[in-house]
Structure 1
Amino acid sequence: MKFAIVANDLPKSQNVKRNLEKKLLECHMVEDEKHPEIVITIGGDGTLLSAFHKYQDQLESIRFVGVHTGHLGFYTDWREDEIDDLVVSLQSDNGQSISYPLLEVQVKYANEPHMKKYIALNEAALKKIGTTLVTDVYIGGEFFESFRGDGLCVSTPTGSTAYNKSLGGAVVHPNLEVMQVAEIGSINNRVFRTVSAPMIIAPRDWVTLYPDHGTDFVLTIDALTKSGCKIEKIMFKIAKQRIYFAKYRHQHFWRRVQDAFIGDANGV
């Protein structure tokens, strides 16, 4: 098995990385940072997001495993003190996996001839600096509304537990291959109207934004931030690609939600 390890810069994570790397090499596994079969992240969800984008062109041939060295991460199944158990699971690997939907984002920048394509694991959001975002919203090619407010966030099912949730969006199970559009500070009065509620969009429909002219847009795609750019059009859709996790002890989705936001059943 070919593996790669991606760790954050914290001393604890770097120590775990060195320990795990040594154990895997002793088991005659091959370290291959360019074309791994398994990518092990050590840190938290931010570290896994970084690894996802590093290897986003190889998603069909890679499975991810997350080890958390701080607070429990939504995408991380293993603790730092379970490295020996993880090594045993990797040795007995038979290719088992679980996959989640991703978001495809296509952006047409002014003065560029072609659409720029991105992939998001959690979400993409469009905002404007200092002024109100004004954009026409189309769903499935049909005009839906003219939005005015701070911005719009489009999330995947697993991303529905992140920024989307803080905006009042619904938590969506990843078995549903849908995306969700949540408003950020929308303006609703006698003159301007929006739907003023999160929307769950079917997998075949594109959500397309035509923002008003300007260059003070901020576009975020997971941890990537594009600011000060002139955007003519943005299109969102559930991607054809998926992310795959090695299913050694991958937690049930609702257990993850419970662990992340509620705690155990006894309230501890």
Structure 2
Amino acid sequence: MTDQRRNLYFYYHQKTELQDKLEALFQLARDNDFQIVENSKDANIVIAVGGDGAFLQAVRKTGFRQDCLYVGIRSENEAGLYCDFNIDDHDEMIEAMKNAEVEVRRFPVIDTTINDESTFSCLNECSVRSTLIKSIVIDVYIDDLHFETFRGDGLIIATPTGSTAYNKSINGAVVDPKLPCFQISELASLNNNRYRTLGSSFILSGERTLNLKVRQDGNDYPIIGMDNEAFSIRNIHDVTVNLSEKVIKTVKLKNNTYWDRVKRTFL
């Protein structure tokens, strides 16, 4: 680890049972010439403690920073696709960082623009779902070409790393994060003699633009999910998704590839 990357910011939820382990980790960092900062803007490395959910929150709360590294630490013995380290193995983490036993991986991000006004970044996925007990109707455009009219519970637009989360639960594909792309999956689509959609997930190149036009039929207050947060935005009529120029740079152990973690998590 270079001298330029010695400022650490820890993001975690206040839990009594976690505090003792964190204090030991803080002291170990100080003993190895790392400085712990109180403001994430002063950090070169943002460390999320708690699991994949905490990692997603840390990235969002710190503004998808492009000038720092993100590190994920599991606080419990559970699989994590964003977390390479376990809090009980912090000696190994410090040793790995000091001796260059880590590599930097880059995860794609998507940008979602609502009504041509507000843009939100997502590391996992963006979902558009009905809030009423009726199907939502969305006209789907790819590069300004009308592709289909969707009727159902909603759509999920997933990044490659988000393909293993919500997207996978509805039989979407698991995508290699080295591919600059995003995936669109259906939630309970209606397919019969009257309504017809593709009926399967499809993957778009990062050079494509996806545009979703929500039909204003009383279901124009959908829930917009951004990673693990829900946003309540009124009168949504247009959702545009592009692959972002941003990437999230994370630290990984050299012997711990993305597919190693997929295998541990699901197989």
Alignment TM-score, normalising by the size of structure 1? 0.90
> Quick one: distance in 2 between partners of 1:65 and 1:150?
35
SS in 2 for 1:73: coil
How far did 1:52 drift? 0.6
How far did 1:54 drift? 1.4
Cα-to-partner distance string for 1:166-192 (whole Å, 9 max, x where unaligned) = 011000001111100000000011111
1:37 aligns with 2:39: no
Percent identity reads: 29
> Quick one: distance in 1 between partners of 2:184 and 2:255?
27
> Quick one: distance in 2 between partners of 1:76 and 1:3?
16
1:119 aligns with 2:121: yes
> Quick one: distance in 2 between partners of 1:250 and 1:63?
19
Residue 151 of structure 2 corresponds to which residue in structure 1?
A: 148
2:243 to 238, 243, 246: 238
> Quick one: distance in 1 between partners of 2:108 and 2:247?
5
The aligned amino acid for 2:223 is V
> Quick one: distance in 2 between partners of 1:192 and 1:234?
22
Cα-to-partner distance string for 1:140-181 (whole Å, 9 max, x where unaligned) = 111101110000000000100000000110000011111000
1:194 to 180, 197, 203: 197
Q: Retained in 2: the 8 A contact 1:98–1:245?
A: yes
1:172 to 164, 172, 175: 175
Cα-to-partner distance string for 1:1-21 (whole Å, 9 max, x where unaligned) = 111111233334332222111
Alignment TM-score, normalising by the size of structure 2? 0.90
> Quick one: distance in 2 between partners of 1:123 and 1:15?
34
1:69 aligns with 2:75: yes
Stretches of structure 1 lacking an aligned partner (at least 5 in a row) = 109-113, 263-268
Residue 54 of structure 2 corresponds to which residue in structure 1?
A: 47
Shift of the 42–57 alpha-carbon distance from structure 1 to 2, 3 Å rule, reads: closer
How far did 1:125 drift? 0.4
Cα-to-partner distance string for 1:76-103 (whole Å, 9 max, x where unaligned) = 1111221112122333459941111111
Shift of the 62–95 alpha-carbon distance from structure 1 to 2, 3 Å rule, reads: farther
The aligned amino acid for 1:223 is N
How far did 1:232 drift? 1.8
The aligned amino acid for 1:120 is C
Q: Retained in 1: the 8 A contact 2:84–2:252?
A: no
Residue 3 of structure 2 corresponds to which residue in structure 1?
A: none
1:129 aligns with 2:131: yes
Stretches of structure 2 lacking an aligned partner (at least 5 in a row) = 1-5
Q: Retained in 2: the 8 A contact 1:203–1:237?
A: yes
Deviates more, 1:185-194 or 1:211-220: 211-220
- Structure 1 moving runs of 4+ over 6 Å: none
Residue 226 of structure 2 corresponds to which residue in structure 1?
A: 221
How far did 1:25 drift? 1.8
> Quick one: distance in 2 between partners of 1:143 and 1:101?
26
SS in 1 for 2:265: helix
The aligned amino acid for 1:106 is T
Aligned length: 256
SS in 2 for 1:50: helix
